[in-house]
Amino acid sequence: MLFSFAPDSYRYAVREVREVFPGEYRIERLGADLGRISEHPFAIDRLAAACDEGRIMFVRHLTLELAGYPLDDLPNGQELATTVLEAVPGRSVAVQTWTDGAGTGGSYYHLLGDALESRGVGVSRSGQDMIVSCIEVGKQLIVGTNRRDHSLSDWPGGRMRLARSEERVSRSEFKLEEVIATFGLALPAGGKAVDLGAAPGGWTRILRQHGQEVWSVDPGSLDQRLRGDRRIHHAATTAGRFFAANRVRFDVVVNDMRMDQVMSARMMLDAAAHLRRGGLVIVTLKGGGKNPLDGARRGMDVLRQEYAVLHARQLHHNRNEITVVARHG
């Protein structure tokens, strides 16, 4: 099976996989963000479950290797389609392509997609139960297949691409959008949310898009485009002082503050007393120093004093962070 990861996180991904699944098998790095697990004694659904539950945080995407071809001797589209259709049931698939590095591999999408469509197979880039991955890495093209619910992400290699808009307040918006989409989070209709370390208001804007009334906590200023929204309440103070005076019960608490993992987690312990039972927490644990894996685990140990951790993963927009989703009570 093949797995993707952030280019700087390969060793942490390998360590996690071997700790969760001990035994004799081979793991090798194929490219900047692609690895292979060979002769493994576990099925891909078990690996996917461990990643989804946050027991493995540094793996982003999974697929089962189907075939590999030298780039200077690629089969034509119809031959590729035949190989894929022998392994993939159904009449519709998502074809996802990428290259080692920053490329999208768009030519492979058309090569395979056109051939599949000529045989009556519906092809899209996402949203299908089965995913066909085409990865150009080194001097070869690797084709893999997997169920979407075992792939961890419905984006090529977990590389989520979000459109930039004039309304965007900050780059950090992409992080919250990605976690909501990746884990299929449904924020409560008409809910109350608190955004810790909100300025300039990127996460506040996304929370409002999801129907939340937001208390934005930060001594800094919010973007002027947010100031006229009557359902945004700017508390120009620190999180500690806000909670000391607060009387509101929240449904959602988010925290993207720049502090180490344990400090961020402890701040969420303070927030717990202000959350409704079953309330949702989203917090980024900033990658720390020489060992971000152990740092993230320490932060999650603190969080577990008040929360059940639902998901934890280094997402595409995280850089050196881990995003944790947890539930109170």
The confidence score (pLDDT) of residue 90 equals 84
Instruction: Decide if pLDDT at 203 tops 80.
Output: yes
With a cut of 70, say whether residue 252 has pLDDT above it.
yes
Burial 166-192 (b: 16+ CB within 10 A, else e): eebbbebbbbbbbbbebbebebbeebb
CATH 3.30.2130.30 fits 2-158, yes or no: yes
Q: What are phi and psi of 98, to 5 degrees?
A: -160, 170
CA–CA gap between residue 99 and residue 187 (Å, rounded): 34
Residues near 260 by beta carbon (within 8 Å), at least 6 away in sequence:
286, 288, 295, 299
Same fold: 2-158 with 173-328: no
Rounded distance between C-alpha atoms, residue 75 and residue 57, angstroms = 36
90 or 300, which is more confident?
Answer: 300
> What is the pTM assigned to this prediction?
0.94
pLDDT tens digits for range 257-302: 999 999 999 999 999 999 999 999 999 999 766 789 999 999 999 9
- Asked if the model's pLDDT at residue 207 lies above 90, the reply is yes
Mean pLDDT, rounded, for 2-21: 97
Catalytic residues: 286
Sketch the domain layout of the chain as residue ranges. 2-158, 173-328
pLDDT mean over 115-139: 97
Specify the range with the lowest mean pLDDT, choosing from 6-10, 52-56, 87-91, 211-215. Answer: 87-91
In this prediction, residue 288 carries a pLDDT of 63
* Nearest-angstrom CA–CA distance, 79 and 82: 5
> What 8-state DSSP symbol labels residue 155?
S
- Say yes or no: domain 173-328 is CATH 3.40.50.920: no
